Structure formats: structure tokens, C-alpha cells
Amino acid sequence: MRIGTEQNGMLMRLLDASVERDRVITSNIANINTPGYKRRQFKFEELVQRAMASGEDPKQVEPEITVDLQSEARIDGNNVVLEEEVSMQRENRLLYETYVTMLQGQLNLVDSAIRGTGN
């Protein structure tokens, strides 16, 4: 009997993606004063949603890191906006905490099933 195995696997991938997104955001912030630097964008959840909507296997989706060439750049060519990056970092932290809570819930279910102490 496999309890929550598939969900746990996806939650682990979401956690990994959240960690990688934080690295990308942190790099953007670190390069805020680098002339010509173009911010990086991290995509994963939206790609998973798109795969699910089209009937594809979301487990096959890989994260994408792209260079943002659309955002307006300052006179030095840098397009990092600190407030936006900090906001994305906060949102990402909330996502990470949510994924951890969900994974802990799944693991508690498994523990309850093993111990026979479920509802």
C-alpha cells in the first residue's frame, strides 16, 4: 500500500523548486548594482499547471530559468527592482512553508497508518 507517495514526490519537487527560486531571487538582489545585469525569472508551478491542464504528466516538467528582457531597465541597463524581488521572496517563503506543512501532513497520515492510530 502506497500512501501519499505520488503527492509526497510532487511536494518534494515543489520544495526543491522553491529553494531554487530563492537562489534566483537572491542572485537578482545581489546584482542590483551590476550595470547591464538582467534579472532572472524562475518558472515551475505555472509549467506544472499547464502540463496538468493539457493532460501531460506534471512529473516530467522541469523548472525554467530565463532572462527577463521585457522589464524596463534603468539607465545603466540593469532591470532589477528591489521591492519586486523582496515581494517575490516573501511570496516564495510562504509557498515553501505551505509545501512543508502539506508534506508534514502527508507524513503524519503515513505515520498514523503505520501505527494504526488514524481517525
**Could you tell me the pTM of the whole model?**
0.83
- 3-class secondary structure, 31: coil
pLDDT at residue 93 is higher than 60: yes
Looking at residue 58, what DSSP letter applies? Answer: G
The confidence score (pLDDT) of residue 10 equals 86
Buried b (16+ CB within 10 A) or exposed e, 87-101: ebbeebeebbeebee
Average pLDDT over residues 36-45: 96
The confidence score (pLDDT) of residue 4 equals 54
Average pLDDT over residues 94-102: 95
CA separation for the pair 82, 97 (Å, rounded): 23
Q: Which amino acid is at 5?
A: T
